[in-house]
Amino acid sequence: MATSTMPRGWRLAGRYTLLIVLTIVVLFPIWVMLVGALKPGNKVLQDPLLPTHVTFDTLREAWRDGNLGRALVNSTIVALIVTVAQVVTAVLSAYAFAFLRFPGRTFVFGVFLATLLVPFEATVVVNRSTVQDLGWLNSYQGLAVPFLATAFGTFLVRQVFLTLPKDLREAARMDGLGHLGFLREVAVPLARPTLGALALFGFLSTWNQYLWPTTISTDDDWNTVQSGLRALAQAQIDKPNLVIAGTVIVALPIFVILLVFQRQLVRGLTAGAVKG
């Protein structure tokens, strides 16, 4: 150790101690939430850090009061529709930009680029009345349709398509593959890791949407998990541990999904994902 006066063992121990302390700090809110959700309402002030008086009644009550079963179904359906649609629209439009020659390509690409500069928060005022005029308040269409395509997805997939060698397209043409055949047999399989990241990212950002569902779901039956949680929090403001039990129910599925798909998530976030 030419550069340090401290022995290596001590430094390692210091690093691990710090890591453990920080782990406790980061996980602290999650732990308090879990403990709170497992207590009956009249014991919420007792041992807030320890799982005593464990009961599932609070979770059950939150599930019922918040109509969370229905909200989970709604969120799943909407997120799946949006995910599939985003991948499909991204692949199609990216293919057109990467492999097809047509007049005005640069201009249309510029239009796509411009939509990235518009924050969703600035368009909700008008989108709400559009959806209302279409009669789509409280519906799956209303929750999903504004998000069926994103310029972000188009860019991400186009980047991958542009890295494919030109010879590949030529060889495929020799083999008699048209554009659609080439797209299906060659381009999409080669872009699969990126498409996986895009899919996970689309699913997560749809699942986590807050402003949109709270704006257009006015009926309890059309809440997503996020707007359902908001409704529960506002209706049961005097029962903090009922609300926190609802929070656990909403948080749990996403924690599990992310543990499984960690790698895709890292790829999606570091690719320049901006919507949270």
Partner 1 sequence: MTRDAASRRRWRDAPLALAMLAPSLIVLGAFVLYPLARAFWLGHQRCDPTGANCRSNGWDQYLDVFRSEEFQQAFGVTFRFAVLTVPVGLALGVGLAVLADKQLRGMGFFRTVFSSTVATSVAVASLMWFFLLNPSVGVLADWIGGVAKNPGLLQDEDTALWAVAISSIWANLGFTFIVVTAGLQSIPADLYESAYVDGASGWMRFTNVTLPMLGPTLLFAGVVLTSRAFQSYGEFDLLTGGGPNGSTTSLTYLVYGNNSIIKNNSGLQAAVAVLLFAVLLVLSLAQIRGVERRVHYGN
Using CB under 8 A as the binding rule, the residues of this chain from 222 to 251 that contact partner 1 are 225-226, 229-230, 233, 240-241, 243-244, 246-247, 250-251
When asked if residue 127 is in the footprint of partner 1 (CB under 8 A), the reply is yes
| CA 231 distance to own-chain centroid | 21
Task: Count residues binding partner 1 (CB under 8 A).
Answer: 91
Sign for the CA dihedral angle at 221, 227, 228, 231 comes to: negative
> Taking CB under 8 A as the criterion, which residues in 27-46 touch partner 1?
27, 29-30, 32-33, 36, 44-45
Contacts of 59 (CB under 8 A, 6+ apart): 37, 38, 245, 248, 249
When asked if residue 89 is in the footprint of partner 1 (CB under 8 A), the reply is yes
Contacts of range 209-215, beta carbons closer than 8 Å, 24 or more positions apart? 211/120, 211/121, 211/124, 212/120, 212/124, 212/127, 212/143, 212/146, 213/143, 215/124, 215/128
When asked if residue 18 is in the footprint of partner 1 (CB under 8 A), the reply is yes
When asked if residue 58 is in the footprint of partner 1 (CB under 8 A), the reply is no
The CB-of-152 to partner 1 minimum distance in angstroms stands at: 11
Identify the CA nearest to 186 among candidates 196, 201, 205, 173. Answer: 173
Residue whose CB is less far from partner 1, 45 or 174: 45
What's the length of the chain?
276
The CB-of-175 to partner 1 minimum distance in angstroms stands at: 19
Identified binder of partner 1 from the candidate list 42, 126, 174, 219, rule CB under 8 A: 126
Interface stretch with partner 1, choices 55-63, 95-103, 165-173, 192-200 (CB under 8 A): 95-103
Contact 237, 29 (CB under 8 A): no
Identified binder of partner 1 from the candidate list 13, 54, 73, 114, rule CB under 8 A: 114
Identified binder of partner 1 from the candidate list 42, 117, 176, 219, rule CB under 8 A: 117
